[in-house]
Amino acid sequence: MTVQVDMRAEIEAAVIEILAAQLLLPPYEIAPDARVDDLGLDSLGKVEAIFALEERFGITIPFNANEPDLPDFDFASVPGIVAGVARLIDQR
């Protein structure tokens, strides 16, 4: 089974909301195609955002700070995160 379109919209909204909370920005300032580095999220903000996504969706995100380029989970952009979260929800 794959994640439905409305579910993707919900994931995208959650990703933006969680990133916004870490960045102390209103969610509308984060574009749906934003890149994480351009947003200025630091390493602790990143692990807190990952934790928040795990708690929100009941998933475990395979992210190790020592392997930032890990292909298993693309944390570089909002679409990458949304796709990764959707895949993990599918596997749940």
C-alpha angle 9-53-78 in degrees, rounded to nearest 5? 50
Which residue in 4, 68, 72, 90 binds other proteins (CB under 8 A)?
68
Q: Give the integer Cα–Cα distance in Å for 53 and 64.
A: 15
For residue 63, CA distances in Å to 25, 54, 69 come to: 24, 11, 10
In whole angstroms, how close is the CB of 64 to other proteins at the nearest point? 6
Question: Which residues, numbered 21-60, are part of the site for other proteins (CB under 8 A)?
Answer: 42-44, 47, 50-51, 60
In whole angstroms, how close is the CB of 2 to other proteins at the nearest point? 26
Q: Under the criterion CB under 8 A, does residue 64 sit at the interface with other proteins?
A: yes
